[in-house]
């Protein structure tokens, strides 16, 4: 059984974009005097307007062309929600395991290895005492041999 459950919720929702509106006001005389290829333009936000006079050609009369466009705009917002739920039993089990591990490590620390210097000094003094005893024994043996001769 898992001790942790993770829930992720993703929600998509459209966001309303404010309206864009553009107005171009042209005096009639100015429009009629507009040279070929020139135009009146206006822009506000995503809205555009273009007003143009086209001269008469091959049987087509003179016309005024008004083009209005609005740039495409669509926003999608994603909202993430993440929830992590942990069961109390799992927390207690982990706490118990941690306590046991701590107790084991504490016991290991209590059982210190012997002090290296203390051990070295003990063996040094033991060697000196044995050396002195062997020296005395040797001296006694020499003394006994001298007396026998």
At 125 the pLDDT is 92
At 128 the pLDDT is 93
Given a cut of 50, is residue 1 above it in pLDDT? Answer: no
At 113 the pLDDT is 64
Distances (CA, A) of 148 to 135, 139, 142: 20, 14, 10
**pLDDT tens digits, 33-79:** 888 778 888 888 888 899 888 887 888 888 888 888 887 666 667 66
SS3 14: strand
At 108 the pLDDT is 58
Kindly report the pTM of this predicted structure. 0.38
* Residues sharing a CB contact under 8 Å with residue 116, sequence separation 6 or more, in sequence order: none
* Residues sharing a CB contact under 8 Å with residue 36, sequence separation 6 or more, in sequence order: 53, 54, 55
At 19 the pLDDT is 78
Given a cut of 90, is residue 129 above it in pLDDT? Answer: yes
Between 132 and 114, whose confidence is greater? Answer: 132
**pLDDT tens digits, 12-41:** 777 777 778 888 888 878 877 888 778 888
Given a cut of 70, is residue 114 above it in pLDDT? Answer: no
Residue 101 near residue 29, CB atoms below 8 Å: no
Q: Running DSSP on this structure, what letter comes out for residue 19?
A: P
Residue 51 near residue 24, CB atoms below 8 Å: yes
């Amino acid at each position: 059984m898992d001790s942790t459950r993770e829930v992720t919720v993703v929600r998509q929702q459209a966001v309303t974009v404010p309206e864009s509106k553009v107005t171009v006001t042209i005096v009639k005389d100015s429009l009629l005097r507009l040279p070929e290829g020139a135009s009146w333009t206006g822009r506000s936000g995503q809205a555009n307007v273009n007003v143009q006079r086209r001269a008469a050609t091959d049987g087509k009369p003179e016309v005024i062309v008004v083009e209005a466009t609005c740039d495409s705009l669509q926003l999608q917002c994603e909202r993430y929600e993440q929830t992590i739920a942990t069961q109390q039993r799992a927390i207690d089990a982990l706490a118990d395991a941690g306590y046991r591990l701590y107790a084991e490590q504490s016991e290991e620390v209590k059982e210190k290895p012997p002090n290296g210097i203390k051990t070295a000094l003990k063996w040094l003094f033991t060697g000196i005492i044995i050396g002195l005893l062997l020296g005395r024994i040797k001296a006694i043996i020499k003394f006994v041999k001298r007396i026998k001769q």
